[in-house]
Amino acid sequence: MPIDSQRSFEILEIPGAGATATVCVARDDTGQMVALKVLREDFAGDRDVLTRTRDEARMLHRLDHPNIVRVNGLLSRGGRPVVVMEWVEGCSLRKVLDHTRAALPIAIAVEAAREIANALEAAFNCPSAKNGEPMRIVHRDVKPTHILVSVDGRVKLTDFGIAKGVFEDREAVSLYMVHGSWGYMAPERLNDEPDTPAVDVYALGLTLFELVTGKPMVMSRHPYKHDRAMRKQLTFLQPSGVDPQHGEALRALVERMCRFEPEERPTPTDVAQELTTWLESAGLDPDLPAFAREVIIPLRERHERKAPQDHPAWSEVQFLHGEAPTPPPGADDEPTQVDTIPPPPPRMDKEALDALLHDRITKPDWSRDLDELKVEFRGRKDWSLGPLLAVIDRALLPWWDFWSSPVRTDQVVAALELLQDRPEPAVLARARRLAESRSPRVVEAAKRVLQAGENGNDR
């Protein structure tokens, strides 16, 4: 889908500015209102941020779902990527909760959660453009701030900036570093475990509790205390306007959504179906347009709109404002597609890559550089396995071999993470032995390597 990078915009408002990007509301030269996500200038050369921006645009461009904010395309202006998105005039549920300081009407809260569950299911099973395989998108940051309600009552899930997906032209590495919002993060996300739809279900359960009660649920991270503390707090989930039987059914669903063990949680599809049945059996007909008229529109009207020039982030988006510049001869600001935005800086050659790895693992805290190394090593098959195999071999020494230098758990896990793209026989042999380790983190990392080997054999 081509997007003319010379189309002009009138910046009307800057609703938010984050660490890496600024979001603004604009009117284009056809009169259409759009939202623009503009990468900050100091991140224009950051490979990781660039690839994640491109991947987010690719994912959302393919996600055509009424409950997900649509991406129209990606343009390049002055070498900086700009994501052109659907503009949703409305408010986040976080803003609604903060303003009302009360719970949402029970029918509205349940309906919003039901529609977001449908969005999560659609994202996970959305087919990729080239081979039709599911993209397995996991949002990883579901919370009231990222759920919008428009002035006409539409519910939209937004901000897939840290989403994880599997599709054929993905650029960014699915890092296992902790991304997301602490208060809504599933326990397994802190234990280096792979992200699955269960992490989104967990966050949606916490969100539903907050929408129904008006207060957040504070969870213990201790495996033996988590569920007990969660069930105690669920006693405060007493929805008004329904009989005790339906109140208990809703508590039971939230309890399953927020369990410590991810395999014990329902799927997004199950959540959506159960909430649909719950609304029908409770005799509730959520009227989102009426809710929007009563709550969302007044909030929008009370919202103080400052001139974009008065916003601290104006300098980051000013280059988009006004008539589109005329490019000089030979300029690369031509009409582009989502998949053809100018690429990030060139990658290292084999010799430089081997030198980087050798230099890093000689340092005691080299595992802290794992995310940077993943970006460099992603998809490469030409680097030497020796240094990482040596790290693993030190972990496999017998306990009585006390004179050998020890290796820390985080270093073993980091080595296994880097070796996932190289599930060769020597790597798999070591991973099988490490799968019997006493460390849960090592076991999980080793299993991911073995799974990568199985997937490679299947192909």
C-alpha span between 416 and 411 (Å, rounded): 9
Catalytic option among 28, 29, 64, 141: 141
Asked if residue 357 lies in contact with residue 383, where contact means CB atoms within 8 angstroms, the answer is: yes
Q: What is the number of other CB atoms lying within 10 angstroms of the CB of residue 328? A: 7
Residue with tokens 């990222």: 146
Stretch (H or E) spanning 290 = helix 288-291
Q: What are phi and psi of 359, to 5 degrees?
A: -70, -40
Stretch (H or E) spanning 15 = strand 9-17
Active site residue 141: yes
C-alpha span between 192 and 447 (Å, rounded): 12
Bridge partners of 150?
Answer: 90
Determine the 3-state secondary structure of 192 from DSSP.
Answer: coil
C-alpha span between 14 and 322 (Å, rounded): 15
Question: Residue 221: which of 265, 191, 250 has the closest Cα?
Answer: 191
Structure tokens at 348: 């290292």
Q: What are phi and psi of 36, to 5 degrees?
A: -120, 130
Asked if residue 170 lies in contact with residue 70, where contact means CB atoms within 8 angstroms, the answer is: no
Please give the span between the terminal C-alpha atoms of the chain, in angstroms, as a whole number.
Answer: 30
CA atoms within 13 A on the CB side of 190: 13
Q: What are phi and psi of 26, to 5 degrees?
A: -140, 160
C-alpha span between 135 and 270 (Å, rounded): 20
Q: What are phi and psi of 84, to 5 degrees?
A: -100, 120
Buried b (16+ CB within 10 A) or exposed e, 252-273: ebbbbbbbbebeebbbbbbbbb
Q: What is the 3-state secondary structure (H, E, C) of 109-159?
A: HHHHHHHHHHHHHHHHHCECCCCCCECCCECCCCCHHHEEEECCCCEEECC
Q: Which residues are catalytic?
A: 141
